[in-house]
Structure 1
Amino acid sequence: MPRNRPLVVVGDTLLDTDVEGQAHRLAPDAPAPVLDVAEEHNRPGGAGLAATLAGAFPPDAAAGGSEAGPEIVLVTALGQSRSDQTVRDLLTPRVRLLELPLRGSVPVKTRLCADGRPLLRVDRGGGTVGPVTDEVRAALAGAHTVLVSDYGRGVAARLRAELAVLAGHTQVVWDPHPRGEPPVPGARLVTPNAGEAMALCSGDHPDANGDGLHGHGWRGAVLASEWRSAAVAVTLGRRGAVLARPGDEAPLYFPPLQEVDGDPCGAGDCFAATAARALADGALPEEATHEAVRQSGAFVAAGGVRNPALWGGVPAAPSAPPVTKTDDARALAASVRARGGTVVATGGCFDLLHAGHVGMLQNARRTGDCLIVCLNSDVSVRRLKGEGRPITPEADRISVLAGLDCVDAIAVFDENTPERLLRELRPHVWVKGGDYGTERLPEASTLEEWGGRVLLLPYLDGRSTTALARRAAGHHGAARPSGLEQSS
């Protein structure tokens, strides 16, 4: 992302206060615990926390991150109370702050915590957001990516007209709230949590009232259609997230990298901030969601908003152990799965490997912790494509694929489709080129046996094995190969 194009965070900032202490006795006049206060901490919440997190990630935490990272601009509403000044003092060293006037005071959320566990929350404050300034309009017009952190307090509603125009040509990530307004049409990614998605989703479905992955994925697809957004990532807390597109019958599940116990306060802001930063650095929504699941899990594991190191920089998510290229695809899949990683597989003939193949394989590898290629054998290719195919024999196709850094293992199969092999590998994700369109892939039912998901990734336009072979044959006056093949 060009350094002069900032990531702009828009939304309602809160002042979060944690009053920490111990509670070992009840009050004599009521059955209520007595908190012996030891210390008190203030921090920005809501959009203020999201902006802080977006600017605090190390440059390589988001996929393809630029060396210096983008400038973070926060557009929010602040008043003139002591609480508002506390928020300014907390934010000014970390982000460029652009204020809308607030008639009233910033909302203050105070948590009373005993031994790190919340006992009670007290909310106070709030106000009416004033008019949009020219400085804010200019910042939005110059943004590369915009994250809307909507807490239903009026900032997103005040800027809705500007955001609606912006979504037509700028990446917009929207973190919604049931009390707020729906995302503007054209948002690149919307990030409700499971409870918010259930509250916001209209309609009825057999899985809609449950908490299964199919139900969450269905709600994500319905909301993506209703909101006319490119994709919806429904966050599931310690269970990860599901990513769905409008009308999607096969939403993609992103399991967590590790089991995490800890205070989840701020994890949703971390997820949205990570996804926005990753998209700003050129990631696909699938890559951004994968990175957001990883980083928000690490955020909670490191102590979340209570982590003292947070305000000096967010601790980077632990990198997955490096995968060594291997000839044993089955052992690799078992090893990655055993340590909680995500196994990704794809398949095809890969005859005359071209730029479309390479781009798809690189993107597929970024969605998980290893990539296994299920390769059609020569017998299988000939049965599918006819005489004269494959153009490149099996051993050579294996050698070329093995030479790609993004491919960790290759497994050959003789059948028309790799269902038997997939049952041995049991990948979390099955990736195919997007030229398959919306038709249901034959492997989808197999993946569903163990909760796996199908992910379609686009190919580069105009690049296919058959097209290359036909051009070559036409140039030399040879017979053209039969069969249509862009997927392999």
Structure 2
Amino acid sequence: MRTVVVGDLLLDVDVEGEVERLTPYAPVPVLDVVAETKRAGGAGLVATLLARDGHDVALVTALSDDARAADLPPLLGGVALVPGRSPSPTVVKTRIRSREQPIVRIDEGSGTPLPPEVTPEMLAAVAGAELVVVADYGRGLLEQRALRDAIQEAATRVPVVWDPHPKGATPVPGVVVTPNLGEARGFSGLEGSGVPFADEAALRLLADWGCAAVVITMGSRGALLRTSATGLPLVAAAPEVRDADVNGAGDRFASAIAVALGEGLAPKDALQRAVAATAGFLADGGVATLEAAPAVPLPSADRDALAVVERVRAAGGTVVATGGCFDLIHAGHAKTLSAARALGDCLIVLLNSDDSVRRLKGPERPLMPQEDRTDLLSALEVVDGVVVFTEDTPVEAIRRVRPDIWVKGGDYNAEDLPEAAVIKEWGGRAVTVPFFPGRSTTRLAAAIQRVS
């Protein structure tokens, strides 16, 4: 699928350091620089994310001829650059951080831009696209009539997702727009927050812009989709991601929903995939993942759980894990999980896969597939992550997670458990928590059978 990203190319710089003292002449922190990282920003980040996902990507943009612009092409990886000339300076956004805590952001070149050049090659790239993602960062490129006409024509043939900017151009008709809540307030002229406001703003923008669909992203509350003025909106809830660096979240969302639409998914299904992809991106570390080699693909729940473990461990916290089939979650499970979570700073549940449950419990089990069991556990406030394992025992999964504490509920002698021996390999401990008699999946299933 030939994917074309159209928009403003920026340079993002992260300066990391340590602050341990103030200057002698004013109460100003002194940052001892440890590392500086450069990254393609704006439309460049969208294109880089798509290319990293394995897509054939071209970036249609305007490139300055200053010294900062020379840094950008090498940062684009496998992205084909189709540039016109920009008479304005390259916009540079520098984040100064200490121990991952932002201190200040410094912007350069963000004054009023001059009209950029649009070349025949840029228009041809849009005309040949099978999917278009517009990343407008308010630098004037999307105000150019020839480029707007090309994008509007493309929207009659292929999915076009337009991520608007408060200082940018009005989206052309027929596209899917993806503003966040703050942008929706500015574009619609309405005030409010939360789902009721998002729906009202989506209806306003749908009418004002003639969009194919409006998707308003709501941060930790997920995203709301409107495809028509009639019927009900669809809201996709976002999985909880703690302590995330949200830089680049909007770019990840726009790229993910565009790919889903390009693959033929209905808007409602594309919305849910994009929300999940954005949460996974943030759980993995956000834009920081672009600095590392691509990881071996993992199921999304496993990936999110291991990201939680790394964050807690990096902060010096205690990682707790427990395991089981959790075929029908009952009060005994809830009490055990709560007791386990109280022992540390995160709780990871190691969950038997469907095949593992069948071998342990018989061919009639599990009663619920592992996807549903994972979703139910993940929805519990005391559970920070779920890792599914296929073996008969969780020993290998424990080695992957390396918890500080392994918890079993019941009348076990912890020293007789195979898990107790493996956790000692890195100095961890196996413990038991109180057993709550009378609660079991078998008894609950039998009770349901009697009344069904």
TM norm structure 1 = 0.60
Match of 1:194 in 2: 181
Amino acid at match of 1:11: G
Match of 2:51 among 48, 55, 63: 55
Paired letter, 1:116 = E
Cα–Cα, structure 1 residues 213 and 35, in superposed 2: closer, same or farther, change >3 Å? same
The corresponding residue for 2:64 is: 79
Whether contact under 8 Å (2:65, 2:85) holds in the other structure is no
Which AA in structure 2 matches 1:107? Answer: V
Which secondary structure does the structure 1 equivalent of 2:95 belong to? Answer: strand
Aligned to 1:224: 206
Match of 2:439 in 1: none
Change (3 A) 1:23 1:70: closer
Amino acid at match of 1:82: A
Deviation at 1:279, TM superposition (A): 1.5
Correspondence 1:99 to 2:86: no
Q: Distance in 2 between matches of 1:307 and 1:102?
A: 30
CA distance in 1, matches of 2:374, 2:94: 45
Asked if residue 23 in structure 1 is aligned to residue 8 in structure 2, the reply is: no
- Which residue of structure 1 lines up, in the alignment, with residue 237 of structure 2? 255
Q: 1:128 to 1:252 in 2, by over 3 A?
A: same
Q: CA deviation at 1:197?
A: 0.9
- The 5 A counterparts of 1:388-399 are none
The Cα of 1:132 is off from its aligned counterpart by: 1.4
Change (3 A) 1:71 1:34: same
Distance 1:196 1:139 in 2: 29
CA contact (8 A) 2:280 2:300 kept: no
Q: Distance in 2 between matches of 1:278 and 1:268?
A: 15
Matched, 1:340 2:336: no
Tell whether the 8 Å contact from 1:260 to 1:300 is kept in structure 2 after alignment: no
- For 1:171, the equivalent position in structure 2 comes to 159
Match of 1:88 in 2: 73
Q: Determine the structure 2 residue equivalent to 1:181.
A: 169
The answer for unaligned runs of 5 or more in structure 2 is 303-352, 356-363, 381-452
Question: Once the 2 structures are TM-superposed, how far is the Cα of residue 31 of structure 1 from its aligned partner?
Answer: 2.3
The structure, 1 or 2, with the larger RCO (C-alpha pairs under 8 Å, 6+ apart) is 1
Letter in 1 for 2:378: R
Aligned to 1:439: none
Name the structure 2 match of 1:33.
29
337 and 309 in structure 1: CA distance in 2 versus 1, 3 angstrom threshold: same
In 2, Cα distance between equivalents of 1:234 and 1:103 = 33
Q: Taking structure 1 as reference, are residues 216 and 317 closer, same or farther at Cα in structure 2, changes over 3 Å only?
A: farther
Give the partner amino acid of 1:212. Answer: G
> Contact 1:191–1:272 (CA<8 Å) still a contact in 2?
yes
| Correspondence for 1:61 | none
Aligned to 1:112: 96
Q: Cα gap change, 1:335/1:147 in structure 2, threshold over 3 Å: closer, same or farther?
A: closer
The answer on whether the counterparts of 2:140 and 2:169 sit within 8 Å (CA) in structure 1 is no
Other structure's SS at 2:87 match = strand
Alignment length (residue pairs)? 318
TM-superposed deviation, 1:327: 10
Report the more deviating stretch, 170-179 or 218-227: 218-227
**Compared with structure 1, are the counterparts of its residues 317 and 200 closer, same or farther at alpha carbon in structure 2 (3 Å cutoff)?**
farther
| CA RMSD across the alignment | 2.7
Distance apart, 1:216 and its partner CA? 1.3
Cα deviation, 1:289-331, whole Å, max 9, x if unaligned, reads 1111111111111111123555x447767435878999978x9
Q: Which amino acid aligns with 2:183?
A: E
**What amino acid maps onto 1:146 in structure 2?**
V
Contact residue 116 and residue 140 of structure 2 kept, 8 A: no
CA distance, structure 2, for counterparts of residue 250 and residue 152 of structure 1: 32
Does the residue aligned with 2:258 lie in a helix, a strand or coil?
helix
Distance in 1, Cα, partners of 2:74 & 2:371: 50
